Structures are given as C-alpha cells and as structure tokens.
Chains A and B, each alone.
Chain A
Amino acid sequence: MKLTNNDLIKLYGDMWYIRHFEQRLADLFAEGVLPGFIHLGIGQEACMAGTCFNLGDGDIIGATHREHGVLLCRGVSGDAIMAELYGKVTGTCKGKGGSMHACGLKQGALGNNAILGPAQTIVNGFAYAHKTRKNKKVAVSMFGDGAANRGEFHEGMNFASMWNLPSIYIINNNGYAISVPKSKQQKIDDLSARAAGYGIPGVSIDGNDLIAVIETTGEAIARAREGGGPSLIEFKTYRWRGHFEGDPTPYRTDEEVAEWKKKDPIKRFEKILLERSVATEKDMKGIHDQMLAKVDGHQKFAEDSPWPPMSEMYTDVYYYEEGSDQK
C-alpha cells in the first residue's frame, strides 16, 4: 500500500482533529454546556481515521455514539456536529438527534444507532442496494465489543455472507461494555474468530497502529468492492475516558489506563513521520494548532446558533404527512 506524504500529513491532521474535538466536548460537558450524554472516543483515533481513509463517495459507514470522529473524517461539517450536540437548529439533525443520532447521510455517515444491534443488519440493506446497483460501493458497520454479543451481529454476518454483500464489520474492541470487562462477556478473546462461523474472513489487529488499520481495512474494502463479499475486522484498542462523560470508571485501574496511554496512536504515528522525514516537530505542532483552531471555530458557531423553533417539534414524522400529496 502506497501512502504519499500528503496522505500521511492528512491522516495526522485527522487524528488531531478528532482528539481536539472530543477533548473540547469533554470540557464543555464538564462546564454543563452540553445536554444529555456524551461518549468520547479519545484513544481510538487511529481506528476512525484509518478506516475512513479507505472510504469514498457513495460508501456508507454506520458507527456508534463514540465515533463523532467518523463523522468528521467523512467530511460532515464540524460546525454542524458541534451545533447538533448543543441542540441547536443548525445541527446536522436540526437539533432533534443530538450526539446519539448525529449523522451526515450525504457524506455517507449513517451516524449512531442508539440501540446496539440493528446497525449490523441495516448495513446489509445499504450493501444490498450497492450490490443491486453494481456501483462497487461498500457499507461499513463499526461497533464495540459489547455490541458484538447482540443477536443482530450474528444475523447480520450470516446474511452478508449468504448474499455475498459488500458489508464490512469492524469491532472496536476496547475491552469494556460500559463497566463489564471482556473477560465477563465472552469466552473467546479474539472476536474475529466469530467470522469463521459464517464462512467469512476474520482478522484481529492492533487498532492503535494507524498504518495497520489502513492496510487491513483497505484490503477488506477492496475485496468487497470487487465482489469478494463481507469480512470481519477486530481492532484491539482502548478508550482513555469513561463510557460516558461523568463515568467514574471504578471498573478499571489507573495503571491500566496509563499502560494504554503509552500506546497512544498519535504518538506512535509521530515516530513514523519523524523516522521517514515526512514532517518535522515544527510541522506537527503546526497541524496540532491548526486543528485546535478549527475546533474553536466549531464551538463558536454552535454557541452563536439559534435553538430550534417550536414548530420543529412537529415536523419530519412522516415523509408524506396526513393529507399531503403522495405521487
């Protein structure tokens, strides 16, 4: 796989963009600005940036509430995402979805499905449409190790395998389903082993290694585009923060968190950039600051945006409202 220096710089920027965005959400939530629940993906940036690097126009990815970063990498407006999390009318969903349902359908980001499970079957519907239309597009479902225990994960893979759909299942295995560790959720350690049960390839890799993520998802996606069918990829990764903001995380130790912070995907990538003379420390600082400024801009946009008018409560229930003209 040939990555140009421009690709590498962009990817570095993507990861910082995600991290700064997520960190800002943490700060805003702590200040009481953001309503509801926020689930942050800090620590899992490589999984998001690497996967999205291999997706193009027309491809679709459905991820979870932890992956605002996927929306950003797919090109959904950071302003609109931030505004949505504030609940403003300029948000991706006019403020009616929030973090739980923010999305960018035009950019191919299906957003979160707050019920864990349906996304793994809904992705097949998109994949079926791609297959029928013969457009060489793919449909990706990205979810956590907890969701991999839902029945729909299994029904989904079985369908994808049987119908030979361009569906790709990606598990961000960060070792916890809220407070329950993986050792109490399933007997196997490598969830990729489940793929064999459906006759599709399954791979487990280090999700904090951006290049490994790009290579593996690249192969899976290329294979699916060419009619090679579905595959299952498991990223071993870790979330630095709690399941939700405000989670005191009594279920894990500071030592464990510190160990995983040593495997910071951004720092590891910096080593490669320096080793290969792609960027200097100064370049990297420049990108870091540039992304921070972008996030500042998103915050300001959200703050300045208006709330939704009351009329929005009643719209968008049906496509064809009662009495309206359906052709």
Chain B
Amino acid sequence: MIGIIANPASGKDIRRLVAQGTVFDNMEKVNIIQRILVVLHYGGVKDIYMMPDSFHIMDKALCFLERNQKVQVDVKELDFDLNFDQSDSIKAATLLREMKASCIITLGGDGTNRAVAKGSGDVPLLPLSTGTNNVFPAMLEGSVAGLAAMVADKDMTRECLVLRQCKRINIYKNDELVDIALIDAVITDDMFVGSRALWETDSIKEIFVTAAKPDSIGISAIAGSFRPMSEAEPGGLYVKIGGGSFRTWAAIAPGLVRPVPIREFRETDYDTRVRVETPCGMIALDGEREVVFNKNDKVEIEFTDKGPRVIDVQATLNAAAKKGIFVDKEVATETANCPGV
C-alpha cells in the first residue's frame, strides 16, 4: 500500500511577498499527483491512500485522469477530520504507518516533511519538492516518483529498494523532548510564531544544521557557504551568529540574499546535547517559527541519526531495472526482432 500526503498550504506563505518565491500553484500539485497515479496504476499498485485536504487535490487529480486519460484509479481518502494545519500531516503519516504503508510520497517543503516525519516512524519517505525551503525533498518528476513508489510496494524482500538514513534534530525544553527538525533548528530572539517564516537575519542568534549545503537556500545555505557538510557526514554543525570572526552571505529565501556575520562554529557529534545560549525567544524548525522559550527555560539541541529513511530513487530504479521489474518476458520475445529494440 502506498500513501500520499500533499500539503495544500505549502508554497503560498509570506515568502511570496518578502522574497521572490513563485506561487507553487495547487493545480501544479494536482498535475504531479496525476502523473504519480498514472504510473502506480500502470504498475498495478492497488492500495493507494491519500490525505484529504482543503483544495481537494485528490478529487481533482482523479477527475482529470478519468476525463483525459480514461483511467480510473482507485484511491481512497484517509478518514479523519482536518484541522487545516500541520497536525493533519502528522495524523495522516501516523495512520499510514499503522496501516503498514510501503512508502509515503510527500508533496511539500521542509516543513511538510518535518510534520510527516513526526508520525511516519520507519515507513520510507519519498519527498517531492513543492515548498519554499526544499533542502529535504528533491526536485523529482511525478512519474519517476510513481515508479520508485511502485518498486517500494512490490519489492517485498527489499532487494531493489535502496534507502538513505536521514538525520534528525531533537529539541529539549527543560529536559523534555518537545519537537524535532530534519534540516535545521534556528534560535531567534523573535517573540512570536506569527506568520512562521523566517526572512530577517537580524533576529537569528544560533543555528543547528544536519546538512550544510552551499547548493541550497535557507539556513543550510548559510552554514554551507563556509563549511559544507553533506547528509552522509555524521553529526551536525552548530553556528553562533553575530559579529566577531567573519562574514558570509547566502540566499536565505528564494532570491533573498543577505550578509550573515559569524561568531564561531563547531561540528557536533550525534547524541550530544548542546545548551542554547540565547535567553529567550523562538526556535524555528525547518524554516518555520515553532517553539517559544523564556528566561527560565533550559533549551538543548541534539543531533541524531534517528531521522526518517528516504528512498534513493536513482539507486532503487537502477536496481529494479537490472532485476527486470519493468520487463514482461512474453512481450520481450515478440519485440526481440524489432529494429531498435
């Protein structure tokens, strides 16, 4: 069984206004879902479940498929009431895990995947990028994602399915685990959650990143601009922002370039808690302001290798092709004499 979680809210927040983010239209998500479903259908995947959403992405995709391709795909909606916030993604992921999904395809940005990761447990994720900050998910064509998901569903023995173990950041407030992040945790002296996004560097005081990628945008890019760190390298990077040592610059949002003064930085091992220095403010997780803390709170951040597992699409499809998953032996005999085959 395959699960699909498409976040209708991704790609339309305040970063459209303060940065050069284009609107990732929900109609484009409908298109992507169509492409995924056509491939799953052709590949014989029978059980497909989708998170319901306010844009009715699923209904639209199925309607267009039937009209344009004369294809009727059996997709069921997960049965729960929507809150129209991130808890919907968490709930959907939790249900899909309980129903033993082979994988969950996600359409969203870092924030979406973070929410999904809170409920998905061990279920492999296949994240497609449709958000603003897209360090975690990949730019992947829908049909290709459908292929990889199909392999995950069919490959019971896990011969072809190649997974990558992702990192995770744990946030502890007064010794209690209060939240997680997949890419970055940013300590700011902001007072409010408000519109959630981060676009002003003045308030950023400390950053924790699992991957520091100069070939990305956002917080990861800041660290990546002077100390690149891949997902494969164990541990994480802790950077203190402020005057002192040197200055760097990066695109912190689409088309929004800012200089960033760096005070100091250090690599941090897994399972080591780092105490946050900023006395009070907000913690932004994967690009969204999330956790409040005050003067009397003890805030600690920890890197672990206990994040979700993500399907390595290229390696998986290569292995599947070599194993002949796409080939039908009878048809192959007929076409063997055709030129070009």
A284 at the binding interface (Cβ < 8 Å): no
List which A190-205 residues lie within 8 A (CB) of chain B: 190, 192-193, 195-196, 201-205
Say yes or no: B195 contacts A205, CB within 8 Å: yes
Interface flags, A256-286, vs B, CB<8A=1, else 0: 0000000000000000100111000000000
Say yes or no: B17 contacts A209, CB within 8 Å: no
List which B82-128 residues lie within 8 A (CB) of chain A: 84
Interface flags, A128-168, vs B, CB<8A=1, else 0: 00000000000000000000000000000000000000000
Interface flags, A211-227, vs B, CB<8A=1, else 0: 11011100110010000
Least Cβ–Cβ distance between A206 and chain B, in angstroms: 8
Most buried by A among B55, B195, B294: B195
Which chain A residues lie closer than 8 Å to B55 at the CB level?
Answer: 188-190
B14 at the binding interface (Cβ < 8 Å): yes
Say yes or no: A201 contacts B16, CB within 8 Å: yes
B249 at the binding interface (Cβ < 8 Å): no
Of the candidates A3, A196, A215, A277, which one forms a contact with B14 in the assembled complex, judged by CB atoms under 8 Å apart? A215
Bound CA–CA A214/B193 (angstroms)? 12
Bound CA–CA A204/B7 (angstroms)? 14
Say yes or no: B195 contacts A211, CB within 8 Å: yes
Least Cβ–Cβ distance between A292 and chain B, in angstroms: 27
Say yes or no: B18 contacts A189, CB within 8 Å: no
Say yes or no: B17 contacts A216, CB within 8 Å: yes
Which chain A residues lie closer than 8 Å to B27 at the CB level?
Answer: 188, 193
Interface flags, B20-62, vs A, CB<8A=1, else 0: 0011011100000000000000000000000000111000000
Which chain A residues lie closer than 8 Å to B257 at the CB level?
Answer: none
Bound CA–CA A196/B28 (angstroms)? 13
Of the candidates A190, A195, A209, A214, which one forms a contact with B8 in the assembled complex, judged by CB atoms under 8 Å apart? A190
B16 closest partner in A (C-beta): A201
Say yes or no: A211 contacts B14, CB within 8 Å: no
Say yes or no: A219 contacts B12, CB within 8 Å: no
Least Cβ–Cβ distance between A223 and chain B, in angstroms: 7
Say yes or no: B12 contacts A212, CB within 8 Å: no
Say yes or no: A212 contacts B25, CB within 8 Å: no
Say yes or no: B26 contacts A215, CB within 8 Å: no
Which chain B residues lie closer than 8 Å to A236 at the CB level?
Answer: 84
A231 closest partner in B (C-beta): B17
Given contacts A215-B195, A216-B195, A272-B192, contact A192 B17 (CB under 8 A): no
Which chain A residues lie closer than 8 Å to B9 at the CB level?
Answer: 204
Bound CA–CA A272/B200 (angstroms)? 21
B196 at the binding interface (Cβ < 8 Å): yes
A310 at the binding interface (Cβ < 8 Å): no
Say yes or no: B192 contacts A202, CB within 8 Å: no
B295 closest partner in A (C-beta): A277
Given contacts A219-B14, A220-B17, contact A193 B23 (CB under 8 A): yes
A313 at the binding interface (Cβ < 8 Å): no
B292 at the binding interface (Cβ < 8 Å): yes
B85 closest partner in A (C-beta): A206
Say yes or no: B12 contacts A202, CB within 8 Å: yes
Least Cβ–Cβ distance between B35 and chain A, in angstroms: 21
Which chain A residues lie closer than 8 Å to B192 at the CB level?
Answer: 3, 211, 272
Say yes or no: B25 contacts A203, CB within 8 Å: no
Which chain A residues lie closer than 8 Å to B325 at the CB level?
Answer: none
Say yes or no: B195 contacts A212, CB within 8 Å: yes
Of the candidates A203, A209, A215, A272, which one forms a contact with B12 in the assembled complex, judged by CB atoms under 8 Å apart? A203
Which chain B residues lie closer than 8 Å to A195 at the CB level?
Answer: 23
Say yes or no: A192 contacts B14, CB within 8 Å: no
A115 at the binding interface (Cβ < 8 Å): no
B191 at the binding interface (Cβ < 8 Å): yes
Bound CA–CA A288/B308 (angstroms)? 48
Most buried by B among A189, A201, A211: A201
Least Cβ–Cβ distance between B290 and chain A, in angstroms: 14
Least Cβ–Cβ distance between A113 and chain B, in angstroms: 26
B339 at the binding interface (Cβ < 8 Å): no
Of the candidates B17, B22, B294, which one forms a contact with A219 in the assembled complex, judged by CB atoms under 8 Å apart? B17
Least Cβ–Cβ distance between B159 and chain A, in angstroms: 42
A317 at the binding interface (Cβ < 8 Å): no
Least Cβ–Cβ distance between A210 and chain B, in angstroms: 9
Say yes or no: B12 contacts A3, CB within 8 Å: no
Say yes or no: A203 contacts B17, CB within 8 Å: yes
B13 at the binding interface (Cβ < 8 Å): yes
Of the candidates A188, A203, A211, which one forms a contact with B16 in the assembled complex, judged by CB atoms under 8 Å apart? A203
Which chain A residues lie closer than 8 Å to B84 at the CB level?
Answer: 236
B324 at the binding interface (Cβ < 8 Å): no
Of the candidates A192, A214, A216, which one forms a contact with B23 in the assembled complex, judged by CB atoms under 8 Å apart? A192
Given contacts A201-B17, A219-B17, contact A212 B26 (CB under 8 A): no
B340 at the binding interface (Cβ < 8 Å): no
Say yes or no: B23 contacts A212, CB within 8 Å: no
Of the candidates A201, A203, A211, which one forms a contact with B193 in the assembled complex, judged by CB atoms under 8 Å apart? A211
Say yes or no: A215 contacts B194, CB within 8 Å: yes
Least Cβ–Cβ distance between A201 and chain B, in angstroms: 4
Say yes or no: B14 contacts A203, CB within 8 Å: yes
Bound CA–CA A236/B12 (angstroms)? 13
Say yes or no: A211 contacts B194, CB within 8 Å: yes
Which chain A residues lie closer than 8 Å to B54 at the CB level?
Answer: 189
Least Cβ–Cβ distance between B138 and chain A, in angstroms: 24
Least Cβ–Cβ distance between B291 and chain A, in angstroms: 12
Say yes or no: A1 contacts B194, CB within 8 Å: yes
Bound CA–CA A211/B192 (angstroms)? 7
Rank and list the top 3 A-B pairs by shortest CB-CB distance, nearest first.
Answer: A211-B194, A211-B192, A212-B195
A–B Cβ pairs within 8 angstroms, 22 of them: A1-B194, A3-B191, A188-B26, A188-B27, A188-B55, A189-B55, A190-B55, A192-B12, A192-B16, A193-B23, A193-B26, A193-B27, A196-B23, A202-B12, A203-B12, A203-B14, A204-B9, A209-B193, A215-B195, A219-B17, A223-B18, A275-B294
A195-B23, A202-B12, A203-B12 given. 15 additional CB < 8 A pairs? Answer: A189-B26, A189-B55, A189-B56, A193-B12, A201-B17, A203-B14, A205-B14, A212-B193, A215-B14, A215-B194, A216-B14, A216-B195, A223-B17, A231-B17, A272-B192
